[in-house]
């Protein structure tokens, strides 16, 4: 059965910075380098992140969220920027919502917004390699249907 096991509510007023750009990988990595752009939302107040948090693929306490376009974006026949699969349109809608939110809230600090590469710090990623090679990973075709 499919049930919601947990969720995290990310509040706009806790958002510190937004980074939009391509992914930047280390020179030597076992990961497949993902093409396309991403959006990183940072909720960190200059708190240090432990090595265990960075290493653990199931960690749910990292102070950031990284989003990217859905793989079906390539199959989308529409070139309109409003496509639900495109991170560009989500970035534009998020910027409008944040502008409206922070203009309505007194004594608030809007997040800084940057256009720069998003660093991916994983070098080995054994769990990700095993997960993707077993055909259980993200964007795999299952019986003619791509998720």
Residue with the bigger pLDDT between 81 and 66: it is 66
| Residue closest to 112 by CA, chosen among 42, 40, 17 | 17
**Could you tell me the CA-to-CA distances from 53 to 1, 11, 31, 60 in Å, in that order?**
29, 21, 19, 8
> Is the pTM of the predicted complex or chain greater than 0.85?
no
Q: Reply yes or no on whether the pLDDT at 21 is more than 90.
A: yes
Q: Phi and psi (nearest 5°) for 74? A: -70, -30
pLDDT digits (tens, 9 = 90+) for 68-125: 887 666 666 655 555 667 888 889 999 999 999 998 887 778 899 999 999 887 656 6
pLDDT for 118 equals: 92
With the C-alpha atoms ordered 142, 37, 101, 93, is the resulting torsion angle positive or negative?
negative
Residue with the bigger pLDDT between 58 and 76: it is 58
Q: Write out the H or E segment, with its range, that includes residue 87.
A: helix 87-104
Max CA distance (Å), the chain: 53
Cβ–Cβ under 8 Å, residues 23 and 118: yes
**Could you tell me the CA-to-CA distances from 141 to 74, 75, 85, 109, 146 in Å, in that order?**
14, 14, 17, 43, 4
């Amino acid at each position: 059965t499919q049930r919601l096991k947990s969720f995290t509510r990310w509040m706009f007023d806790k958002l510190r910075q937004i980074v939009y750009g391509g992914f930047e990988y280390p020179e030597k990595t076992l990961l497949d380098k993902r093409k396309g752009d991403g959006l990183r939302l940072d909720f960190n107040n200059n708190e240090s992140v432990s090595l265990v948090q960075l290493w653990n693929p199931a960690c749910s306490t990292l102070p950031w969220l990284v989003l990217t376009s859905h793989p079906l974006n390539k199959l989308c026949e529409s070139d309109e920027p409003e496509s639900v699969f495109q991170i560009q349109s989500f970035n534009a809608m998020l910027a409008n919502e944040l502008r409206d939110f922070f203009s309505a809230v007194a004594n608030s600090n809007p997040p800084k917004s940057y256009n720069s590469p998003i660093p991916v710090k994983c070098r080995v990623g054994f769990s990700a390699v095993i997960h993707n090679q077993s055909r259980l990973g993200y964007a795999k075709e299952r019986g003619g249907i791509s998720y």
